[in-house]
Copies of this chain bind each other. A is one copy, B any other.
Amino acid sequence: MDFLEKKFAKLGAENAPGQEGRQKIKEIEMRGEKLTGTPVDFSHGDVDAFEPIPGSLDDFIEGVHIGGKQAYTEYRGSKTIREDTAQKLAQFTGANIDADQNLIITPGTQGALFLAMGSTVARGDKVAIVAPDYFANRKLVEFFDGEVVPVKMDYFDTTTGAGLDLTQLEDAFKAGVRLFLFSNPNNPTGVIYSEDEINGIGKLAQQYGVTVIADELYSRQIFEGKTYTHLCAQNTIDPEKVLTIMGPSKTESLSGYRLGVAFGSSEIIDRMEKLQAIVSLRAGGYSQAVMKSWFSEPEGWMAERIAQHQAIRDDLLTTLRTADGFKVRATEAGSYLFPRIPELDITIEEFVKVLRLQAGVIVTPGTEFGSQFTDSFRINFSQDHKAAVAAMERLVKIVELYRL
């Protein structure tokens, strides 16, 4: 295999959410009958069950009617929309954000992640990545020919926050890591880093001159009793060494418009814009107009959405904790759960396929988040409440059928 063949062999996407139709896993003999019920695709949120922010389509249509000025914005995004967004994000996070220097609008948060990594990872660079964390993080490092240095997060230890091993993180920094990328709340576990953890990260990064990219995609959906700490507002680290990524694709259900933002380091933002110019020019011009609805939701809309998700979480936790051999930590923010299942006599990839074919339930295998997570799966429970609970009950039955 030549260099690119090897690179793209590692960049498999067929187990990624939404790609089930392209899976090439061998047939498995089915045990027992099909389990009927409303099919549920837990690989991503259901924007039919939780609809986009009211008025978002109107904002888009208004963008189309503005015409050429909205279709062809600067590569970093429309100036007026950046100004509005910067002001709202500054208020939300407590950080200083200059709309002209410190913010770029991107095609989804995935777009922001890609541009940020392309702007900071050179060939051979060591990049610290939490295990488990969002599956694209590892793939991005590998695509840019960097080297992943995993840092353990013991997410079942509820005493310290998310459970990040700060000693291992410092060892990684000492060993030459120049960049640390992490999601908070963590994807796939839904746990929040404590203030101590965030300050620990900030101080270590400052001490060792490490740049930090914080993916805060789900940071608005915080469940009762939990608090959230924005690294960018803690003053522990040079602001030019921090980049924060957010977007309205999850809690706000605007994924179909492909919108995200990165804010922070002006040097990284400048590079991201140069890269954007050759990647896809800009976030869709008319879509950018939809940013107006973000952080401007109708009174009570966000509180209700959070309460509805917390109720689904609680029912799923009950189902999982009643089942034999499952282990799960309660989601603290966002819509992910990352349960550990009892030992099966099929692989996790086979389990995922059986579950889809026999029970109409799609989940993401734990191995997408780190090769060691062969006993776990991720769900996004932003789904129809009843259908989600029934689907989880079917999942528990499937586990029973294929247990060792």
Contact = CB atoms under 8 A, between A and B. Distances in A.
Interface string A23-53: 0000000000000000000001011100010
A278 interface: yes
B46 A57 contact: no
Contacts of A339: none
Contact of A279 (B79, B111, B282): B111
A74 interface: yes
Contacts of A75: 13, 16, 18-19
Contact of A3 (B123, B143, B256): B123
B4 A122 contact: yes
Contacts of A68: 46-48
A279 B279 contact: yes
Of A114, A145, A279, most B-chain CB atoms within 10 Å? A279
Contacts of A274: 8, 11-13
A342 B216 CA distance: 54
A71 B44 CA distance: 11
Nearest to A12: B274
Interface stretch (A59-67, A159-167, A222-230): A59-67
Interface string A275-311: 1011111111111000000000000000000000000
Copies of chain A in the complex: 2
Contacts of A107: 107, 258, 280, 284
A194 interface: no
Contact of A286 (B46, B67, B114, B256): B256
A136 interface: yes
Given A108-B281, A278-B139, A256 B46 contact: no
A378 to B, nearest CB: 16
A251 interface: no
A184 interface: no
A87 interface: no
A120 B281 CA distance: 20
Interface of A: 2-4, 7-8, 11-13, 16, 18-19, 21-22, 44, 46-48, 52, 57, 60-61, 63-64, 67-68, 70-75, 79, 106-108, 110-111, 113-114, 119-120, 122-123, 136, 139-140, 143, 145, 255-258, 270-271, 273-275, 277-287
